[in-house]
Structure 1
Amino acid sequence: MVLDQLRKTLREKIDALSNCIDASLPAAQEREAAVTAAQAQLDAATASQQAADEALSAAKAAEASAATAAKVAKDAVAAFEPAYSQATQARDAQAENLENFRLYNVGSFEIIRDQAPAPATTVGGA
């Protein structure tokens, strides 16, 4: 009798648990689908983050390369500055010499050219 009662109680418990499991099966499937979707989103976000990290690394490398190129260019400009200054001074001096030549020599030539020729005198009277 006790065993029959135990068997009956256990069967009721088994049926109740089976009903509970059957009732929660759709919710478990929904949770499984949600977990699968979340995992897919996580995978996509991870791939996106990895691509962004690679792009950041490439940008940092490009920045470092550009900074190095800028430093080299600045050094080249600094090294060229004395030669440029000297060449500029020489050019300015030559331009001044040319202007002086034009003002004096060419000016003198133009004055002589524009003067009326002196009458020719003959020696010995004819």
Structure 2
Amino acid sequence: MQDLWCKGGYYQLDPVQEAALAVSRPFLWSHKGVQSTVMQHVLRSRHDPVISYLLDTRMTCGVTVPIRLAGGDLATFTAIRADPRPGSRPKKGSSSPKSVMWAIFCTTPSMPVSIPASAPANMST
């Protein structure tokens, strides 16, 4: 995922990063169902490659915290939810299949500097 965002230029097409430039407060985002007001103002067809990738990899929603740095740079902290695999069953005593959360810290120009070791392989490539 890091190569795709950094070398592949997805950081320039990422609607979440674009939204982070426009607001100074944390915001929710989702590529399934109802979208937050912040994202409704940002989303355009140019974001389709990023949204398709996130849907394909089941990373459909999250929360992002924009962080303004000295000199005007932007960093973001994003927690991403990975949806359960299709057909997965809930664990005993649970009413829904397990979801997973990852956190990613990015700096301008949205270059990931930390990807958790527990992240799936497609997040680090």
Category of TM-score, reference length = shorter chain: under 0.3
Of structures 1 and 2, the one scoring higher in RCO (CA 8 A, sep 6+) is: 2
Task: Please identify which structure carries the higher strand content.
Answer: 2
Q: TM-score, normalised by structure 1?
A: 0.14
Structure of greater Rg: 1
Q: TM-score, normalised by structure 2?
A: 0.15
